[in-house]
Amino acid sequence: MERYLLVALGGALGSALRYGFGAWVQGVLGPAFPYSTLLVNLLGSFFIGLVLRLSLEGVLSGEGRLFLAVGVLGGFTTFSTFSYELLTLAQGGEWAKAFLYAGLSLLLGFLLVFLGYRLGGALVG
């Protein structure tokens, strides 16, 4: 039961962080492109790489991994929102933006999870 509570609390925190960060990004950059979801997913990719590496190296406990990776970052990242925004761009005939958004999300997300993982290794190595 304690593990479920860790995930639930982390998820609530991650969701609140996503909402606040997303609103701030939208306010700064505007609604013309789904910048907030893109940046949330990229940051989430970096931090999940970092958290999982620190967990694998024994620096972070299993409970810490659950709280941060599954809870906080699971609540923070927004794949379902990404999918909907991609559909909205495509339905609006904005194919260039749709491909740019999908490409940036996937390629930069992969790069950032790799960098976070490497940083985790460097911090403990």
Q: How far is the C-alpha of 62 from the C-alpha of 82, rounded, in Å?
A: 29
Distance CA 93, CA 69 (A): 36
Distance CA 9, CA 29 (A): 30
Separation CA 102–CA 83 (nearest Å) = 9
74 is in an annotated binding site: yes
Query: Which of 13, 8, 25, 34 has the alpha carbon at shortest distance from 100?
Result: 34
Give the annotated binding-site residues for Na(+). 74, 77
Annotated binding site: 74, 77
